[in-house]
A and B are shown apart, each in its own frame.
Chain A
Amino acid sequence: VKQGRVLVVDDEEQIRRAVGRALEARDFAVETASDGEEAVALAETFDPDLVVLDLNLPRLDGLSVTRLLRARSAVPILVLSVREEEADKVAALDLGADDYLTKPFGIDELMARVRALLRRAGGQGAPPAARFSADDLDIDLDSHRVVRAGQQVRLTRTEWGLLEALSRHPGKLLTHRWLLETVWGPGYADDVDVLRVFVSQLRRKIEPDAGRPRVIVTDPGIGYRWLLHPVEDPSSEDRSGVSTS
């Protein structure tokens, strides 16, 4: 049984081959494309569950490919980039790419990202998770309650907005721009300082150790990631009801 279909897009043949072989060895069905136009065409016919996309492509660059893919589907896009392409990488994430890896990367890192993206995509049909819990922290988005060590935590309106924006996309790298536009509105897209201040306020209220955050993790220069696993589904929530209440 295949784990899923992955489209690998890179103009360097050696990279395509190495990544493709590694994915096939882990039971993925793999197709490869060497330029942007081929990638867009294959996305149509091969219908991948995930696209691994190099940004620096001939004919149609990675940003355009991201835009075209996003216009048609929500297929997870993992962007491959090199260090000088910082701006392109952020632009790709802003356009809707889901995560990135910087070359050179290990196959173990790649597999971790691929599996995380596929897992998240698999749960997309279901209603978004509303409950999170870990250690002494319990978050219930529906009833607007955050409990930490048995004590209710009071959050401001903006802090709530930020908490919701982050936790609705567990594991996904959310760019500064996306967070600012979602929580504050389109006019605030560049106020990274405001975002940083509120993230650190929120961390002080919910992180066990605000100096070494494990719930809201920074991706320097790019954005933040919510790393708290949601409580799976209502049935399992019921079964674990004792521990979370």
Chain B
Amino acid sequence: MTVRHDEKGPRAQQPGGVRVSPMLSRLSRSPRRQAVGYGVAILGTVALTAALLPIRSDVTPLSKGFGFLAVVVVAAAVGGLWPGIAASFFGFLMFNFFFLPPYNTFIIGRGEYVVVLFVFLGLSILISALLARATERAEAAEAREEELRTLQSLSAELVAAVPGPESYTSALGLLMELFGFSAGALFVQDPVSRDLQEQATVGAPPGELSPRWDPASQASAAERLPLSVGGRILGLFVLRSERPGLSPPESRVLRAFCDQFALVLERDRLLHKATEAEVYRQTDQLRRSLLAAVSHDLRTPLASIKASVTDLLGEDADHGAEYARESLRAINQETDRLAALVANLLDMSRIEGGMLRARIQSTDMAEILTMSIDRAQRQWPTLAFRLRANGDGAVVRADPVFLDRVVTNLLDNAAKAAADSGAERVEVEVRRSADRAEVRVIDHGGGLPQPVREQLFYPFYQVTERHPRLGSGLGLPIAKGFLSLMGGDIWIEDTPGGGATLAFSLPRAATAPEDP
């Protein structure tokens, strides 16, 4: 019973996939059925007459009358009231002329035949009227059901789609398929400028359908359906078609759909606001904890410097030369710590701000490693740093300054892990593969559980409300940042026997003379 309205290519594959006949086709069925009804009335009566004619003397007039009554019922059922009445009168005449003696005249021979004839006519008309009314009602019910089905499939499409403008196009496409529009556009009001902006267009190039009514334009025949909630206009559908105007039931469905769509627009608008507020809240929170962490990390070295300096300046105690030297050493160390922190913060902000460009050149990995290890050894005199290079030192494509910062941060990280757990050694290992050099900084500290590994590369991950710690929280993100600028990778492995291994790799220099 589904009669598909002929449709334009792209909409045949609408994501909704709902198959509903266009409401248009249902409305055009009525006149056609009426014509069929008249056909049944005339041809049926003629055929019945022709069939009964040879045996008209063997059959009682009552039986023949029932035969004509059957034709009336069929004509009324198919075509409604008027074909039924036509069949009644035509049958009345044929019955009288051919089948009531004397035959082939309209004269009625016996009084009882007059009764039979007029009872036939009255019954026929009555049956036609009742049948037509019943059919009309059934059709109206079916049409209403169709309306509801259409509306249901439209709202299902709206509800099922992910909130947001992406769903508008498919809803618009389905709407056009169901109502037989050839082109349509959705305009949504911008909350700030209050201008209508084209959000979705189907069946026409964007910009062709105008939200404003223009009598001169070729699209002047388009339907304009405002979308509003609580008296506020949120948007506008502009729909164009070559089809005749909308019937009242179609208008009703379209109107209901527009109301639903307006609610969807309102929902998306509120959702957008809520998302914005959430993003703002999170940014704000990060900023707060970051501020707390920065101030903590800057203040701790400052506090110990201040304490040491005021101690030395104080005249209430007798400080020997050795004491003063030791204090100065502590002050010096803290100053280094402050400087390193400031350097890290600066690096991080430059990496995050995308302001850094690597100056890639052939760089001797072993040279950088040796320098960094010497420096770390001076800073952590109680730890033993050892470099294990496999064969000749690898030459890599890297920015030597960045590489130095990477290695320094990894050594610092490993040294802290070792110091925290009482381990004595930190090892650095270099391996070469076909096209890359891999460096492993191996500590025998507490190790890093799998779940935190990824997070370690995000800046400020160690920052928490209760314990703002920044210094060590920046080393790995900075290393990752520098490495990604040089085409390098960084990852975390377990050290056999306990501890963490931080590994990174860089592309080897292709034209390195040492290459075999």
Contacts and interface: CB of A to CB of B under 8 A. Distances in A.
A25 interface: yes
A106 B306 contact: yes
A25 B323 contact: yes
A221 B333 CA distance: 36
Interface string A62-75: 00000000000000
Contacts of A26: 316-317
B251 to A, nearest CB: 64
A15 B300 contact: yes
Given A82-B299, A108-B310, A12 B318 contact: no
A17 B311 contact: no
B307 A18 contact: yes
A121 interface: no
B301 interface: yes
Contacts of A12: 300, 303-304
Contact of A15 (B307, B313, B323, B326): B307
A107 interface: yes
Given A84-B292, A107-B314, A111-B316, A22 B307 contact: yes
B314 A104 contact: no
Interface string A82-103: 1110000000000000000001
B303 A25 contact: no
Contact of A105 (B301, B307, B319, B333): B307
A167 interface: no
B302 interface: yes
B308 interface: yes
B223 interface: no
B333 to A, nearest CB: 8
A22 B303 contact: no
Given A14-B304, A26-B317, A58-B467, A107 B311 contact: yes
B334 interface: yes
Contacts of A103: 299-300, 302-303
Contacts of A229: none
A10 to B, nearest CB: 9
A104 B302 contact: yes
Nearest to B296: A82
B330 A14 contact: yes
Nearest to B326: A21
A18 B308 contact: yes
Contacts, number: 78
A20 B413 CA distance: 27
Interface string B196-208: 0000000000000
Contact of A83 (B295, B308, B318, B334): B295
B292 A111 contact: no
Contacts of B305: 104
Interface in B311-333: 311, 313-314, 316-319, 323, 326-327, 330, 333
A104 B296 contact: no
B303 A104 contact: yes
Contact of B327 (A21, A61, A82, A111): A21
B83 to A, nearest CB: 91
A56 interface: yes
A216 interface: no
A58 B468 CA distance: 11
B303 A105 contact: yes
Dominant secondary structure at the A interface? helix
Contact of B311 (A15, A18, A58, A82): A18
A22 B296 CA distance: 22
A233 to B, nearest CB: 27
Interface string B359-376: 000000000000000000
Interface string A3-16: 00000000010110
Contacts of B319: 25
B417 to A, nearest CB: 16
Contacts of B302: 103-104
A108 B314 contact: yes
A106 B467 contact: no
Contact of B304 (A17, A56, A110): A17
A109 B309 CA distance: 13
Interface in B261-309: 292, 295-296, 299-308
Given A58-B467, A107-B314, A19 B295 contact: no
Contacts of B323: 21, 25
A18 B303 CA distance: 9
Contact of B299 (A19, A22, A104): A104
Contacts of A17: 304, 330
A56 B467 contact: yes
B316 A106 contact: no
Contacts of A109: 310
Interface in B159-208: none
A178 B446 CA distance: 45
Most chain B CB neighbours (cut-off 10 Å) among A21, A26, A58: A21
Contacts of A21: 308, 311, 323, 326-327
A14 B300 CA distance: 8
A19 B319 CA distance: 14
A15 B314 contact: no
Interface string A190-202: 0000000000000
A169 to B, nearest CB: 26
A18 B301 CA distance: 11
B306 A104 contact: yes
A15 B317 contact: no
A148 to B, nearest CB: 36
Interface in A163-205: none
B317 A22 contact: yes
B307 A19 contact: yes
Instruction: Give the residue among A12, A22, A82, A108 with the most B Cβ atoms within 10 A.
Output: A22
A236 B148 CA distance: 103
A28 B333 CA distance: 25
A100 to B, nearest CB: 14
A15 B318 contact: no
B46 to A, nearest CB: 103
B310 A106 contact: yes
A14 B471 CA distance: 15
A21 B310 CA distance: 12
Given A18-B304, A21-B311, A105-B306, 15 more contacts: A14-B330, A14-B333, A14-B334, A15-B307, A21-B323, A21-B327, A22-B314, A22-B317, A25-B319, A84-B292, A104-B299, A104-B303, A107-B307, A107-B310, A110-B307
- The 3 nearest A-B residue pairs measured at CB: A106-B310, A14-B304, A104-B303
21 contacts: A12-B300, A14-B301, A14-B333, A14-B334, A17-B330, A21-B311, A21-B327, A22-B308, A22-B317, A56-B467, A61-B466, A82-B295, A84-B295, A104-B299, A104-B303, A107-B307, A108-B313, A108-B314, A108-B316, A109-B310, A111-B314
